[in-house]
């Protein structure tokens, strides 16, 4: 978070910041990844996995926050007024959705019997909310280059969450 914040405040173009922050978290995820046995959906997860989940949830919230900030900053540079409004809307919504994901995953991490099913449910709700939000401004968002960083955020989240040993639906 500190590194991303320092990059964000040094007049670097917003999309470059977002790419950099996501790249750093990809490296963190790769470094955190270990050979983890896949857990059954309804088994209680070990405490070490729940501790990892808590960290992953926090990291994804931070990346969601900076992704949102970068989209809002990109809106300032956008000449097309409609697209600028869309960037501001989605940029404002992504951090909120990231906090909701963090809260839901922290709830699973703190529970006495946190399960993969809780993680999968939280992620499914987050993805559905992001998809609905993006489709409200661009029904074909997955094919529009403007929203590629959001797609990268989703892919990062799936990869990072799978370090818990839970199979995340993509």
pLDDT tops 70 at residue 35? no
Contact 155, 127 (CB under 8 A): no
Rounded CA gap, 90 and 130, in Å? Answer: 9
* Mean pLDDT, range 35-56, rounded to an integer: 76
pTM equals 0.78
Residues 6+ apart with CB under 8 A from 98: 60, 61, 63, 64, 65, 67, 68
Share of the chain above pLDDT 90, in %: 25
**Cα distance between residue 126 and residue 132, in whole Å:** 10
Whether 29 contacts 156, CB under 8 Å = yes
Residue 11 gets the label, from left (phi > 0), alpha (psi -120 to 50) or beta, of left
pLDDT confidence band for 82 (50 / 70 / 90): very high
* Total count of residues recorded for the chain: 170
Q: For residue 107, what pLDDT band results from cuts at 50, 70 and 90?
A: very high
Which of 169, 130, 163 is CA-nearest to residue 34? Answer: 163
């Amino acid at each position: 978070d500190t590194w991303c914040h320092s990059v964000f405040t040094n007049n670097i173009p917003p999309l470059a910041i977002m790419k950099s922050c996501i790249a750093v978290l990809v490296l963190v995820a790769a470094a955190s990844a270990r050979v983890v046995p896949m857990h059954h959906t309804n088994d209680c997860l070990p405490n070490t996995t729940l501790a990892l989940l808590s960290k992953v949830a926090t990291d994804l919230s931070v990346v969601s926050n900076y992704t949102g900030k970068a989209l809002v900053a990109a809106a300032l540079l956008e000449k097309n007024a409609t697209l600028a409004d869309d960037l501001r809307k989605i940029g404002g919504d992504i951090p909120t959705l990231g906090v909701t994901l963090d809260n839901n995953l922290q709830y699973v991490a703190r529970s006495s019997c946190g399960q993969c099913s809780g993680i999968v449910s939280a992620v499914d709700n987050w993805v559905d909310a992001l998809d609905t939000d993006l489709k409200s401004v661009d029904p074909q968002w997955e094919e529009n280059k403007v929203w590629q960083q959001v797609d990268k955020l989703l892919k990062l989240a799936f990869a990072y969450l799978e370090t818990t040993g839970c199979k995340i639906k993509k």
